A = this chain, B = another copy of it.
Amino acid sequence: MVAYDNKFLSRHLSFYDEFTASQRALFHESLQVQPLVKGNIILNHDKQCQGLVLVKRGQLRAYIVSDGGKEITLYRLLAGDSCVMTASCVLKNINFTINLAAEKDSEIYIVPPLQYSKLMESNPVVNKFTLDKMSSRFSDVMWIMEQVVFSSMAKRIASSLLEYSSLEQSDYISTTHENIARDVGTAREVVSRMLKYFESEGAIELSRGAVLIKSYEKLEEISD
């Protein structure tokens, strides 16, 4: 049994208020809280299927990795976001590997696979929740795929900068060209070249390990 925040769980898990007494007991007995340090890996090729994950605080990144080590970011999870792709073993027909890592110091709630599977079987609302969350991740991935397949690199890098800025709620983005390259699935050199071009256009200003956004208008023009 762990210390949990009823209101938080009720707000972010649509099934929480629909439990019977015995389902509620099962849920709370199985609920775990896991603190994560920036860089900690929750899922990778060797460590699959942790169960339902709900982010209590912090920021996680879901991504795929090629055999050659190239990465591409699929989506991010912030406080209140939950992920069912972390429970792939209780979902039929899921046969791909997602990686999930803490991008900031974080804390997550986990409902282990066995218990989550029991809750899904005994309560249709949990099933519905799972379907809705999967739809949401599917949409994220389709969006990324369209970006990757159809968008020019300039658009993708501009979109990535705008996303960082919105995540940090600041014009000042503290990130490396390496990180941006990883997000958009290209080489660092390509990003550096593109950022220099953005700078020459007056959209951003570059400094060591950081990007300052000078004109949102220009960036949005590129990303549109």
Contact = CB atoms under 8 A, between A and B. Distances in A.
- Number of this chain's copies in the assembly equals 2
Interface stretch (A22-30, A63-71, A169-177, A210-218): A63-71
Contacts of A67: 150
B134 A135 contact: yes
A127 interface: yes
A143 interface: yes
Contact of A141 (B142, B150, B185): B142
Among A66, A68, A138, which residue has the most Cβ atoms of chain B within 10 A? Answer: A138
Interface stretch (A42-50, A93-101, A104-112): A93-101
B91 A142 contact: no
A124 to B, nearest CB: 4
A70 to B, nearest CB: 6
Given A66-B150, A67-B150, A127-B124, A141 B145 contact: yes
Contacts of A148: 145, 148-149
A176 B150 CA distance: 22
A43 to B, nearest CB: 14
A203 B65 CA distance: 30
B131 A96 contact: no
B134 A138 contact: yes
Given A124-B124, A128-B127, A138-B141, A149 B66 contact: yes
Interface of A: 64, 66-68, 70, 72, 91-96, 124, 127-128, 130-139, 141-146, 148-150, 185
Given A96-B142, A138-B141, A144-B145, 4 more contacts: A96-B139, A131-B131, A138-B138, A141-B142
